[in-house]
């Protein structure tokens, strides 16, 4: 997929899990990576090191995507270093699973601030700073299709992300920018497995056609395609990456 050669890709929440896998996958296809992180610099540095050890080019930049000023600084620093940003991948997010009646105001606000406002902030910045002909890939969830109890607030945030994706795709098309969202199913990451029993994990894994959890590489391969020039006629779409779960 040589159409990724020298493309500059900003991945939010890329210090570990799906974000790190996406970054490494795209670097393997020749992209230059901006690894955004909010918490662990050491994990972000490890992702950068892994990319560089394989002959790639990457830097790590800290920013809380829920804060507009930090997002502006993130874009400006990335452009100052690489000269432009071609692809934005909104991967940063949090998931709190509680029954609606047990969800606190803090739970609600925290998820909307990061999952929705964070995506809004980066897309607003990308509206003027992403290169012409660029690509935006947002992250939703298959839970917007299956609606499992205890995911209500999380699903609400991701439904908002999907709607932002659809509308912004029409707004950004005049600059040749594509905007899509991927909907991963249960994926073997710390975000997904934390707080779940093995029985719960096995039950969720059994809901797809292949009777296993998705792996981060399964998601990264789809993102690599959407980031490539081969996918330039796909925009405004929400794409399930879930092994036929939904």
Does 154 participate in catalysis according to the annotation?
Answer: yes
Which H, E and C letters describe the chain, residue by residue? CHHHCCCEEEECCCCCHHHHHHHHHHHHCCCEEEEEECCCHHHHHHHHHHHHHCCCEEEEEECCCCCHHHHHHHHHHHHHHHCCCCEEEECCCCCCCCCHHHCCHHHHHHHHHHHHHHHHHHHHHHHHHCCCCCEEEEECCCHHHHCCCCCHHHHHHHHHHHHHHHHHHHHHHHHCCEEEEEEECCECCHHHHCCCCHHHHHHHHCCCCCCCCECHHHHHHHHHHHHCHHHCCCCCCEEEECCCCC
Selecting among 82, 154, 168, 192, the annotated active-site residue is 154
Which residues participate in catalysis according to the annotation?
154
């Amino acid at each position: 997929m040589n159409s990724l050669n020298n493309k500059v890709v900003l991945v939010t929440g890329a210090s570990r899990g799906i974000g790190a896998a996406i970054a490494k996958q795209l670097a393997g296809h020749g992209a230059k990576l901006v690894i955004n992180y909010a918490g662990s610099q050491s994990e972000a540095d490890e992702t950068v090191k892994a990319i560089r050890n394989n002959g790639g080019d990457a830097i790590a930049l800290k920013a809380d995507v829920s804060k507009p000023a930090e997002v502006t600084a993130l874009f400006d620093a990335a452009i100052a270093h690489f000269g432009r940003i071609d692809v934005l991948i909104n991967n940063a997010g949090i998931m709190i699973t509680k029954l609606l009646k047990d969800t606190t105001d803090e739970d609600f606000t925290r998820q909307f601030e990061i999952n929705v406002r964070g995506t809004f902030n980066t897309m607003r910045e990308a509206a003027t700073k992403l290169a012409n002909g660029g690509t935006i890939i947002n992250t939703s969830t298959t839970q917007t299709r299956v609606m499992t109890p205890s995911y209500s607030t999380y699903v609400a945030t991701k439904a908002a992300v999907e709607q932002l994706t659809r509308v912004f795709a029409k707004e950004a098309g005049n600059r040749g920018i594509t905007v899509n969202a991927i909907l991963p199913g249960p994926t073997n990451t710390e975000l997904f497995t934390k707080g779940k029993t093995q029985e719960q994990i096995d039950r969720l894994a059994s809901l797809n056609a292949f009777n296993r959890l998705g792996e981060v590489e399964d998601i990264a391969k789809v993102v690599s395609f959407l980031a490539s020039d081969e996918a330039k006629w796909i925009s405004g779409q929400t794409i399930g990456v879930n092994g036929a779960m939904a």
